[in-house]
Structure 1
Amino acid sequence: MPDHSLVLKDLRILLGDEVLFHLNAEIGAGEVLTVMGPSGSGKSTLLNAISGFLSPRFTCEGRIILDGEDITHKDPSARKVGLMFQEPLLFPHMSVEDNMLFALPRGGSKHERCEKVREKLRAVNLEELGARDPLTLSGGQQSRIALMRVLLSQPRALLLDEPFSSLDVDLRERVREFVFTQAKQNRLPVLMVTHDKADAEAAAGPIINLLNHK
């Protein structure tokens, strides 16, 4: 399994003439960088810049380097960056297995593709849920399925946008540990934005407050 890295080199995001933040950071394989800051400080804008979905209202300067490749101006589909949001965003008109098949890159027979999905479900003890409607699952099950779907897309980095904030306290701790463990096992650099100090502490990595990086 390859090691991945994500480097933000003199990255500046501007809204008009206003600099929202200026960052230099390097995230190694299996590491988690947590970015904190109040609403409006630019946390989600940072994720949009890295994933390629930055609004034309903003300007991106500097470089975003993934596995040694400058992806700053690449099309989103060419970046291979996985995104996990506050809500699982599973398609309600598809079964759990079909949701995961949707994320799998093209290639291979139907049998081979289905087996890859079932392998991921077996890895997290959710194989029996493949035929279920995702809306019938618990919040924790939906979060685990959402992460497995992201991993099936074979990302080179993982971006987390307040991914645990909709879960209750006990479930939040378990899902958080599951996500970080999977990221380490898959050797993915992770950038997480959150308001929650407990999330940052659980990530056990460096913490950046955007207010200190103007």
Structure 2
Amino acid sequence: MNHPRPHEPGLRLKNVAIGLDGRTLLAIDRHIPPGHVLTVMGPSGSGKSTLFALIAGFLDSAFTAEGEVLLDGARIDRTRPEKRAVGLLFQDALLYPHMSVGANLLFALTFALRGARERRAAAAAMLERVGLPDMFDRDPATLSGGQAARVALARTLLARPRALLLDEPFSRLDAPLRRSMRDLVFSLVRERAIPALLVTHDREDAEAAGGPIVEIEPPAG
């Protein structure tokens, strides 16, 4: 009797290879369990950002890609980006300047949560979780860099991602803020059992993530 293949939770990069102009930029075969962080390090031009783009669904057509990207056992690399349930956190907060902090968060909420009162309560609870209570009505332009980074994290998590991609998210913060933001992000990854991929140049960020580190060399030539 044939049994179904067991479900594999987390993010799986199965024999992934990305190339450009006939050259292989990177090749990776890794599994990121829920609540864990895989860090990819390497200099500019080594292919880190292209891996990020492949998983998120916006890899430029100039690149070739082989292998499979699976999330909780289901292949997502052929799925529309908005259907992948992958959260993105960048170097810059990228908050909508014409919206209040609260409106930025409400924009990310799934429509499965209905009712203005319930939606506001969920956004306010997330603001409190990232250490920013009473910030709902603030103008994003009045936030410090650290506050804006926390709002961006709150907005990303409110969308309930099933995987998280972190693209140098701490690089624009000063040292004390960088440490506190790292602690917050990685604790929330564990708390919410989200598999996360961190792309960084910074060795301290990589070590703080507490997971395996993949170092990519730039292609020869």
Q: CA deviation at 1:43?
A: 0.7
Which of 81, 84, 102 is 2:86 aligned to? 81
Instruction: Give distance in 2, aligned partners of 1:75 and 1:136.
Output: 35
**TM-score, with normalisation over the residues of structure 1?**
0.95
**TM-score, with normalisation over the residues of structure 2?**
0.92
Change (3 A) 1:210 1:186: same
Gaps of 5+ in 1: none
How many matched pairs?
212
Q: Which moved more, 1:33-42 or 1:108-117?
A: 108-117
* Correspondence for 2:30: 25
Q: Kindly indicate whether the alpha-carbon contact (under 8 Å) linking 1:4 and 1:67 is maintained by their aligned counterparts in 2.
A: yes
Q: Considering only CA atoms, is the larger Rg found in Structure 1 or Structure 2?
A: 2
Q: CA deviation at 1:139?
A: 1.4
Q: Kindly indicate whether the alpha-carbon contact (under 8 Å) linking 1:33 and 1:191 is maintained by their aligned counterparts in 2.
A: yes
Instruction: Give distance in 1, aligned partners of 2:97 and 2:9.
Output: 32
Structure 1 residue 142 corresponds to structure 2 residue 160: no
Instruction: Give distance in 2, aligned partners of 1:174 and 1:124.
Output: 11
Gaps of 5+ in 2: 1-7
* Correspondence for 1:196: 202
* Correspondence for 1:174: 180
- Residues 181-210 of structure 1 show CA distances to partners (whole Å, capped at 9, x for unaligned) of 111111000100000000011111100011
Structure 1 residue 156 corresponds to structure 2 residue 167: no
- Residues 100-145 of structure 1 show CA distances to partners (whole Å, capped at 9, x for unaligned) of 0011111311121111111111223322110001121121111111
Instruction: Give distance in 2, aligned partners of 1:55 and 1:123.
Output: 36
Q: Trace 1:42-57 onto structure 2 (pairs within 5 A).
A: 42-57=47-62
Secondary structure in structure 1 of the residue aligned to 2:161: coil
Secondary structure in structure 2 of the residue aligned to 1:127: coil
Q: CA deviation at 1:212?
A: 8.5
Name whichever structure is richer in helix by fraction.
1
Instruction: Give distance in 1, aligned partners of 2:135 and 2:9.
Output: 31
Q: Identity of counterpart residues, as a percentage?
A: 50
RMSD over aligned Cα atoms = 1.5
Instruction: Give distance in 2, aligned partners of 1:136 and 1:182.
Output: 25
Structure 1 residue 126 corresponds to structure 2 residue 158: no
- Residues 10-43 of structure 1 show CA distances to partners (whole Å, capped at 9, x for unaligned) of 0010112111111000001110100000001111
